[in-house]
Amino acid sequence: MSDAAASAPAVVRVRFRLPNALVVMVGCVAVAAALSWVLPAGAYQRRHDAATGRSVVVAGTFHAVEAHPVGPFAAVVAIPKGLEDAADVVFFVFLIGGAFAVVDRTGALAYGVDWLARRLADRAALVIPVTCLAFAVGGALDNMHEEIIALIPALLVLTRRLGYDAVTAAAVSVGAAAVGAAFSPINPFQVEIAQKLSQLPLLSGWSYRLVFLTLALAIWIGGTMRYATRMRGTPADDAVASDTPATARHGTVLALVLVTFAVFVYGVTRFGWGFDQMAALFFVMGAAAGLVGRLGIAGTADAFVEGFRSMTFAALLIGFARAIYVVLQQGRIVDTIVHGLVTPLAGLPVGLSAIGMMAVHTAIHVPVPSVSGQAVLTLPILVPLTDLLGLSRQTTVLAYQYGAGLCDLITPTSGVLMANLAAAGVRYERWFRFLLPLYAALFVLGMLAIAGAAAIGLR
């Protein structure tokens, strides 16, 4: 070896590692509080919209208001306020987690997963596309996100049994559901609200959206399968809880779970159930499963408590994420951020303004990680601008849908995303490395869809 080679410094690879998700959330709360001292306070006037039943902004009414910077103690107080604001979602996560812990304690879930894994052992390649499609349908029909948290443990057992890792379990569930929701032609929490606010016929443009939903799912499923194949290891044999053969009780409990989901879908679509009704439904399911599975009252209660305990971190992350928005609201800078991002669009050429709207919606979704909340905040401003620019309103809805919806895959201020990753045991930076190329491809697909809609004047 030469002296030059011997004296060369060793190359040390340093892999970036984010801190605990709770630390990230608290850091975002601190950043939001700091912004309240830097950005000027402002607000839009608001009115009640009969079509959506929500309070929406009035375009052209942005004005300065008295500054209200958020101090250190007020920022900390925003954390319990965020938990209070997100209470319905937080308690839904607790109750659905407890219910599935009861189902798991009966042994039915392990046997169901084991039965499925044995039959798919020689056709493991089918698991990823089939599971992705199932969750994508849930996302497209009902904006499924929070409901996935309790299903993550069962998915982890299934994917381990087939040799796949935790990222794969997250990709086929929360990832596929987010893609389905973002490109959905009928998502009531995105498309329908946006079309009502834009005074468009409900479900208009559904066939155009369906084409790009198909392409988006092809990208997601293909990327997930490529990753899973590359990372696949030795299948784990940990799915069966005991050597006792399956009984009729296991089948009855699993049937009870399926019936519950059917009632859940019907209640949401037919009666507009919210998180309170859904939480109550799953609590009843858990109690019934415990009794059918012969756990007894005490055993059922113990299983519920175990489920509550396992969901604590995931549920609290949702409340901590909500605290970020609470701070921005208290600092009176949410409307300022929206106004600052939207105003430059008026100066862009028509073609670029359509794509620019998608980028703006992506940026706005970081401080406002609620797709329905973002719709009522931004679309009343953007629709009049769309008319002035000569764009179709359907194009504006697409820009909102793809920009905000895809951001659900990646924004760390989304408590539900971080809760799902926490339940799967996947660190955010690991998810980010897997997601980045797929997100880029989906973002480009969204831009092409918007450009095409603008070119043909989609109505």
Q: Is residue 426 part of a domain?
A: yes
Q: Is residue 389 part of a domain?
A: yes
Please give the structure tokens belonging to residue 112: 């169901």
pLDDT at 451 over 90: yes
Q: Is residue 1 part of a domain?
A: no
**Of 184, 178, 172, 174, nearest to 213 (Cα)?**
184
Q: Is residue 18 part of a domain?
A: no
- DSSP 8-state assignment for residue 59: T
Please report the pLDDT score of residue 235 as a whole number. Answer: 67
| Chain mean position to CA 455 | 31
Percent of the chain with pLDDT over 90: 56
Q: Is residue 13 part of a domain?
A: no
Which H helix or E strand runs over 43?
A: strand 42-43
Which H helix or E strand runs over 112?
A: helix 108-120
Give CA–CA dist 197/130, Å, rounded: 35
Domain residues for the domain of 429 are 24-58+70-456
What is the average pLDDT score of the chain? 88
* Highest-scoring range by mean pLDDT, 186-195, 238-247, 288-297: 288-297
Give CA–CA dist 402/187, Å, rounded: 12
Q: Is residue 138 part of a domain?
A: yes
pLDDT at 440 over 50: yes
Question: pLDDT for 402-432, tens place per residue?
Answer: 999 999 999 998 989 999 999 899 999 999 9
Please report the pLDDT score of residue 209 as a whole number. Answer: 96
Please report the pLDDT score of residue 237 as a whole number. Answer: 57
Please report the pLDDT score of residue 10 as a whole number. Answer: 47
Mean pLDDT of 365-386: 90
Contact 242, 107 (CB under 8 A): yes
Nearest-Å Rg of the Cα atoms of the chain is 24
* The total number of structural domains that make up the chain: 1
Give CA–CA dist 99/279, Å, rounded: 9
Mean pLDDT of 221-226: 96
pLDDT at 112 over 90: no
Could you give the C-alpha distances from 264 to 88, 133, 443, in angstroms and in order? 16, 19, 32
| Chain mean position to CA 446 | 18
Q: Is residue 190 part of a domain?
A: yes
Please report the pLDDT score of residue 16 as a whole number. Answer: 59
What per-residue string of b and e applies to 306-337 under the rule 16 or more CB within 10 Å gives b?
A: bbbebbeebbbbbbbbbbbbbbbbbbbbbbbb
Which H helix or E strand runs over 264?
A: helix 248-271
Give CA–CA dist 97/103, Å, rounded: 10
Choose between 174 and 120: higher pLDDT. Answer: 174
Could you give the C-alpha distances from 96 to 73, 85, 280, 374, in angstroms and in order? 33, 19, 9, 27
Please report the pLDDT score of residue 240 as a whole number. Answer: 44
Residue 27: HSE in the Cβ half-sphere, 13 Å Cα cutoff: 8
